[in-house]
Chain A
Amino acid sequence: MIKVLLFADLQETVGKEFITFEENELTVTALRTEIKNSYQYTQIDNAMVAINEEFAREDEIIKTGDIVAIIPPISGG
């Protein structure tokens, strides 16, 4: 199972702080596609993805037990 943390506008769009996937493995690109297909969230292409609190590349593979977070465009400071 892969747990994906949601923040900011994505958290509000989905209505949850996290979602889970039953897959044991998932690429970052596949995760984006899943989100795009399941939720009306057009900003997903501008979001970054973090695996275990590090920014991930598109071709990285998410494995079961990883802590994943979708990072919408940030606006701190």
Chain B
Amino acid sequence: MTRPEAGAITTFIGTVREFTKGKRTISLEYQAYKPMAVKMLQTIGKEINEKWPDTVVAISHRVGHLQISDAAVVIAVSSPHRRAAYEANEYAIERIKQIVPIWKKEHWEDGESWIGDQLENVPYATGKPEIGDEST
């Protein structure tokens, strides 16, 4: 991230939240379709480089069992000026929630459940999300 061309580095850390709408989470479990997840994260990096030239992006996502306040995802973006670093960082987390095959299982006080799409944006018209610059 640190490089002579950069004037800004934004970091986002997504952490495990204890209470969601009054419901208490004890712990979380993430499962990933790893080869495809890595491919999709690389795609997000490419999309960001196209939309915000001169940015450098790094993304890491945990899998397995996580406790409250553990870091689940870390996104860092560096750019010559701050605006691109902020915008690209937010874009990255939104895209992760759309196209990266990772699933969260919540373990609550009174049970457990796999969590579905939090953005409520499926099904897609063509059955798949748009990737890169393809138009459907």
Q: Tell me how many residues of B have a C-beta within 8 Å of chain A.
A: 36
B window 95-136: CB within 8 A of A: 96-105, 114-118, 122-124, 126-129, 131
In whole angstroms, what is the CA distance A46 to B30 when docked? 20
Q: Tell me how many residues of A have a C-beta within 8 Å of chain B.
A: 26
A73→B116 contact, CB < 8 A: yes
> Closest approach, in angstroms, between the C-beta of B121 and any C-beta of chain A?
9
In whole angstroms, what is the CA distance A23 to B58 when docked? 41
Interface residue B31 (Cβ < 8 Å from any Cβ of A): yes
Select one of B14, B35, B126 contacting A77, CB under 8 A. B14
In whole angstroms, what is the CA distance A55 to B112 when docked? 28
Select one of B73, B104, B116, B129 contacting A43, CB under 8 A. B116
B39→A53 contact, CB < 8 A: yes
In whole angstroms, what is the CA distance A49 to B36 when docked? 12
- Chain A, residues 33-77, CB within 8 Å of chain B (1/0): the string is 000000000010110111001111110000000000101111111
13 pairs from A and B in contact (CB 8 Å cutoff): A7-B31, A8-B31, A8-B105, A45-B123, A48-B128, A50-B36, A54-B131, A74-B97, A74-B100, A75-B116, A76-B61, A77-B93, A77-B97
